[in-house]
Amino acid sequence: AKQAGKNRFHLFDVASDAAIRIKRESLDQIAAAIAQHQLVLYYQPQVNMQTGEVVGMEALVRWLHPERGLLAPGQFLPVIEDHDLAIAIGERVLDLALSQMARWLAAGLHLPVSVNVFSRQLQQDDFVHKLRQALAAHPTVPSSALELEIVETSALQDMAQVSGLMHACAELGVRFALDDFGTGYSSLTYLKKLPAELLKIDQSFVRDMLDDRDDLAIVQGVVGLSKAFNRKVIAEGVETVAHGRKLLAMGCVLGQGYGIARPMPAQQVPGWLDQWRAQQPWVPQEDVGLP
Ligand code: C2E
Ligand code: MG
Ligand code: MG
Ligand code: MG
């Protein structure tokens, strides 16, 4: 038995050595990807489903991998989430987004942009200082056009610290959104303690709310909470017109999802805006609010 135990430990060590090596290699590759400018941003529109107004764009990172093609965040972010590399990626993403906003502004497009931040970034003492510097490097971009999205994670346990940081950012004019709202274990405390302006209802609840009563109850609950706490609310995962109608009937007017537009490269945004304004293909203008 002792021998077997030893063997098990041995196997376990081999397995974790391999895991560590693979993780090390992925981290090196991601670091190289940052250095070689292989990270790019796609943008997904956020609209007022009642009026059709485009209220902003969410910046979503992609890895333009030389061999594997375009990689989604799920294919490389999980490796770095608890690592310092998250800070490097977060800073690159912020800089790319601000540069793009400046380009759009120069072309006459005023588009607010939401940028996702890792909790690892928020743990830095100089986060606000770095944010101020990033904004200063793009002087044409008003800080009020920038929104930061954070997800509730165990890394966000220090609510007092995060709350202080959010207040400091608010003084700069930068707003916060609570992303994937409803998926965490302590969303209510989170909401009470953090001065975020916007709640983003997680796409999984919205996507399934038409056939799943529990998901519908969660969506309704978050919309109710947003009203009670005087926050704005946006639904992610608006995949169809039916989703949009249901949300409007519940009093949630802001939406983001494949049914409105998929995330797209920055160059496609002006064309999409023209097309959206010309057609607003799916905005359910007639029977808004009808049961
Ligand atoms: P998220 O911030 O909640 O972003 C929304 C995700 O939902 C995006 O996936 C988007 O493509 C997807 N989505 C949008 N509409 C629909 C829909 O109607 N149906 C479905 N099924 N999905 C929809 P994506 O781009 O793969 O990003 C996944 C997650 O990776 C993001 O979730 C965010 O947490 C993280 N992420 C992406 N870019 C960044 C970044 O630059 N920094 C950080 N820290 N995290 C990022
Ligand atoms: Mg987000
Ligand atoms: Mg989300
Ligand atoms: Mg998410």
Q: Report residues whose beta carbon is within 6 angstroms of any ligand 1 atom.
A: 44, 60-61, 72-74, 77, 90, 93, 116-118, 149, 151, 179-180, 203, 207, 236-239, 256-258, 263
Q: With a threshold of 0.90, does the pTM exceed it?
A: yes
Pick the closest to residue 235 from 190, 286, 179 (CA basis).
179
- Residue 264: strand pairing partners: 43
Instruction: Give the per-residue pLDDT at 254.
Output: 98
Instruction: Give the per-residue pLDDT at 288.
Output: 42
Pocket test for ligand 1, best of 60, 81, 240 (most atoms within 8 A of CB): 60
**What is the spatial distance between Cα 175 and Cα 278, in angstroms, rounded to a whole number?**
30
Q: Are 183 and 162 in contact (CB under 8 A)?
A: no
Pick the closest to residue 223 from 193, 253, 259, 268 (CA basis).
253
Per-residue model confidence as pLDDT tens for the chain (291 residues): 444 444 555 555 666 888 888 888 889 999 999 999 999 999 999 999 999 999 999 999 999 999 999 999 999 999 998 889 999 999 999 999 999 999 999 999 999 999 999 999 999 999 999 999 999 999 999 999 999 999 987 667 788 899 999 999 999 999 999 999 988 877 788 888 899 999 999 999 999 999 999 999 999 999 999 999 999 999 999 999 999 999 999 999 999 999 999 999 999 999 999 999 988 656 554 444 433
Q: Is 113 exposed, middle or buried (0-12, 13-18, 19+ CB in 10 A)?
A: buried
Q: Determine the atom of ligand 1 nearest the C-alpha atom of 118.
A: 44
